[in-house]
Amino acid sequence: MNYLNTSEEKQESGIFSKIYPAGIMLLFFVLFCLFTSCSDEPEVQLSSEAQFESFSFSTTVNKDLEIGVPGKISGSDIIATIPYGVSPDGLIATFTYSGKSVKVGNVEQKSDETKNNFSSPVVYSVFAEDGTKKDYIVTIVIGETPDPELESFSFSSEFNEGLESIVTGEISGSDITISIPYSMSTNALVATFKYIGNSVKIGNKEQTSNVTPNDFSEPVVYSIASENGKKTDYTVTVTKNQRRIPRVYINTAGGVPILDKENYVTSTVRVEDLDSYYTDGVKFTSGAGVRGRGNSTWGMDKKPYRIKLDNKASLLGMSNDKDWALLANHTDKTLLRNITAFEISKIAGMSWTPTSYSVDFYLNDEYKGVYALTEHVKVAKERLDMELVKSADNSGEALTGGYFMELDFHFDEPYKFKTNRVYPKMNEGLPIMFKDPDEPTDPQFNYVRDYFNTAEEVLYGDNFIDPEEGYRKYIDVESFINYYIVQELAKNVDGNMRGSCYLAIRRNGKIEQPLVWDFDIAFGNADHITWEQGASSREWDGWFINSYSANDNTYTPWFDRFFEDPHFVSELKKRWNELKPQLDGIPDFIREHAAALQDSQARNFGMKANGGAGWSITKPEWNTSIVRGSYKAEVDYLVDFVEKRLQWLDTNINKL
C-alpha cells in the first residue's frame, strides 16, 4: 500500500473542504445580487386625478321628486334646480367621479345612499390616490314659485261620519264638484285637500286639511295664496247622490250555505233604508230562518230565498208579517218586470197585490246583487185578507169557504186534483192544488173539487151565458177581467191559466182571481211563448190569453168561453177603458224605477273584483236568446214593449 500517496490525498482533501464552503457562499452571493438587480421595478406613481364626472338627484332615491334633477358642473361649482315645494334637506345625490373617495367634511359619501342638507351650499371633496383633493361647491336652487293651486279635494270617511268610503271631487278649472250620499248632511263636512301655495282660506278663516269643518249647503269658495302674492279661488259645489235603494243582509249561523228549499237555516236578517227611501231610515234586525224558494228559479245561479222572521215585523213599511220572499229576477235583465206587473195589478184593482221593493242583497257579507224584497203570498189580515175554513167546518154554510188554491202545471202540493174536462193542448184537466188550508178534511176537499167541476161543466155547457144559471153563478167575472188585463198587457207566458195562477173561494162565494204573481219572463222576455205556447209573436203585438182568434194557436182554458159571451166582452171593454188612462203611466213608472237602480244595477252586473255581483248583462239565459248589450237597452225595450202593447190592446179590445 502506498501510504505516502494516501496521506497526500487526505491533506489535499482537507484543504479543499475548507475552501469549498467559502466558494459556495461567494457563488450564491453573486447570483443573489445578480437576481435582485435584474428583478427591481421602477417605483409606482399614484394618480392625482380627482374630479366629478356627473352629479344629479334621481327620483329613484328621492321620493319627493317627480322628475330627475341634473347638476350643472362648471369648474368647481355645481348648480342644481329642484322644483318648488321639494325640501332640500335630506336629498340624496347620484354621482360618478374619478378619484379614490368623496367626502363632505369628514363624512364619506356614497352615490344613491348618503343624505345631506342642501339648505346651504355643500362642499364635496373628491380625493385623488396621491392624497390631493378637489373641492366642489354644490348649490341647490329652488325653482320658481308656481301659481297657487288646489291639487286634490275629497271627503274622507275617517273624518266624516256617515260616509262609507272616500268621495273625490272633480276639479275643472276653478270649479270643484263633489257628490255625497243622499242622506248625509252638508252642514259640517271636513275636507281633505292637497295644494300648492302658502295658505288656504275660506273668507278670513284658515283651512286645515282633515280638520276644518264647513257648511256646504251652498257653494263654498276656497282661496289658495302663494308666497309671491298670487291667489287662486276655487268654488266647491256639493251635490247629493241619488237615493240608495234599501239593503238586506242575511248572515247564516256559522256562515253555512243555504242548500235547498226544504230546510230553514238559522240566520240573522238586517234591513237598512239608509236614504229613507220607504221609511225614516231606522235599521231593522231580527233572527230568522232562511231557505230556498221557487221552481225553475231555484235551479239558476242567482237564487231566490224565503225568509221566516222569528216575530212579525213590517219591513220597509210593508205589511206586518213573518213571511217574506227575496226574488232574484235573474232572467229579467231590467230587474223590473215583477215590480211593473204589480203596479199594473194595483191599477187593475186585484183583491191584493204583493208589495215589492228593489234592494241590494248581501249573503254572509257577500254582495249578491239587486233583489226584490216582496211580501210572500199567503192568507193573512195584511196580505190576502179572507176568512178560511177551519178543520171543524165540514158541513152547511161553513163548508163553502174560504179556500185559497193554486193552479200550476208543477202540480207539487200534497192535496191536489185535476178537473174532469180534458182541454186541448193540455190533454188533461186543470191542475188545482190546496194552499190554505194545506191539509183540508175530506168534506172540504170534495166540496172544492166538486165546485170546480160543476163550474167547468156549466161554463162549457149549452146554457153557459145565462146570467142566473150560467157560469157567472160560479165564477167571479170582475176578478177574471182584472186578471186578464194584467196578464194580457204583460203577455205573460204563464198567464194563460198555466202556472202561478192563484184562485180563491170565499164563504158563499164564487171562484175568484185574487192576485197575480211571477212575471220575470213576461213583457217579451220568453222565446217559447211562440213555439211552446202558440202565440203568433213574442213581441208586443197579437193576442195571447184571448184565444178567441183564428190567427193564433194559443189556448187558454175558460177564457176561450168567456170571449164567446157578449156580456164578458162588454164588461172587459168597459173596464179597459176605465183603466187605460192610469195604465198609460206605466212607461214612466218603469223609467223612474230604472233611474233609481242606476248605481245598483251597475253593481249587479259588475265584476266581483270591482265589488259587483258578477252577473252578466250580455249572457243569454234559458228564456231568451236575445241580448241587447246594456242595461239602458234592456229598459228601453221594456218601455217600448209596454207603450206599443197598450196601443195595440186599446185598438183591438175596443174592436171586440
| 492, three cell numbers | 205573460
Please compute the mean of the pLDDT values over residues 351-367 and round it to a whole number: 98
- For the 51-142 domain, the top CATH level (class) is mainly beta
User: What sign for the dihedral angle of Cα 315, 320, 324, 328?
Assistant: negative
Q: Where are the domains of the chain?
A: 51-142, 149-240, 247-375, 396-584
Rounded to whole angstroms, what are the CA distances from 58 to 55, 63, 64, 67, 119?
10, 9, 10, 7, 18
Name the CA radius of gyration of the chain, rounded.
46
Does the structure show a pLDDT above 60 at 27? no
Long-range contacts of 232-235 (CB under 8 A, 24+ apart): 232/147, 232/148, 232/149, 232/150, 232/174, 232/197, 233/174, 234/150, 234/153, 234/171, 234/174, 234/175, 234/176, 235/174, 235/175, 235/176
At residue 18, the pLDDT reads 47
| 5, three cell numbers | 500517496
Residue with the three cell numbers 231580527: 286
Do 512 and 505 touch, CB atoms closer than 8 A? Answer: yes
At residue 16, the pLDDT reads 42
Secondary structure of 15-26 in HEC code, one letter for each residue: HHHHHHHHHHHH
Q: Could you give the strand order of the β-sheet that contains 72-74, starting from the edge strand earlier in sequence?
A: 72-74, 77-82, 133-142, 122-127, 101-104, 107-108
Do 540 and 491 touch, CB atoms closer than 8 A? Answer: yes
CA 360/CA 248 separation, integer angstroms: 6
CA 304/CA 301 separation, integer angstroms: 9
Three-state secondary-structure class, residue 614: coil
Three-state secondary-structure class, residue 243: coil
At residue 267, the pLDDT reads 98
At residue 424, the pLDDT reads 82
End-to-end CA distance of the chain: 172
Query: Between 477-490 and 337-348, two packed helices, what is the crossing angle to 10 degrees?
Result: 150
At residue 204, the pLDDT reads 95
At residue 6, the pLDDT reads 41
What b/e string do you get for 467-491 counting C-beta neighbours within 10 Å, with b at 16 or more? eeebbbebbbbebbbbbbbbbbbbb
Q: Tens digit of pLDDT for each residue in 132-187? A: 999 999 999 998 888 899 999 999 999 999 898 999 999 999 999 999 999 899 99
At residue 5, the pLDDT reads 43
- Choose which CATH entry (2.30.29.30, 1.10.10.10, 2.60.40.2340, 3.40.50.2000) describes domain 149-240: 2.60.40.2340
Three-state secondary-structure class, residue 593: helix
188 exposure class (CB count in 10 Å sphere: 0-12, 13-18, 19+): exposed
Please compute the mean of the pLDDT values over residues 583-593 and round it to a whole number: 98
Q: Tens digit of pLDDT for each residue in 264-298? A: 999 999 999 989 889 887 799 999 999 999 888 89
Please compute the mean of the pLDDT values over residues 113-124 and round it to a whole number: 97
Residue type for 393, please? Answer: D
Q: Which has the higher per-residue pLDDT, 11 or 617?
A: 617
Does the structure show a pLDDT above 70 at 551? no
CATH topology match: 51-142 vs 149-240 = yes
- Strands 189-196 and 213-214: what pairing? antiparallel
DSSP letters along 376-408, please?
PP-B-TTSB--PPPPTT--SGGGGG--EEEEE-
Do 571 and 554 touch, CB atoms closer than 8 A? Answer: no
DSSP letters along 270-313, please?
EEE-TT-SSSS---EEEEEEEEE--SGGGGSSS--EEEEEEEEE
Q: Could you give the strand order of the β-sheet that contains 231-240, starting from the edge strand earlier in sequence?
A: 170-172, 175-180, 231-240, 220-225, 199-202, 205-206
Residue with the three cell numbers 239587486: 370
Please compute the mean of the pLDDT values over residues 337-360 and round it to a whole number: 98
At residue 23, the pLDDT reads 53
Do 489 and 576 touch, CB atoms closer than 8 A? Answer: no
Q: Which has the higher per-residue pLDDT, 475 or 547?
A: 475
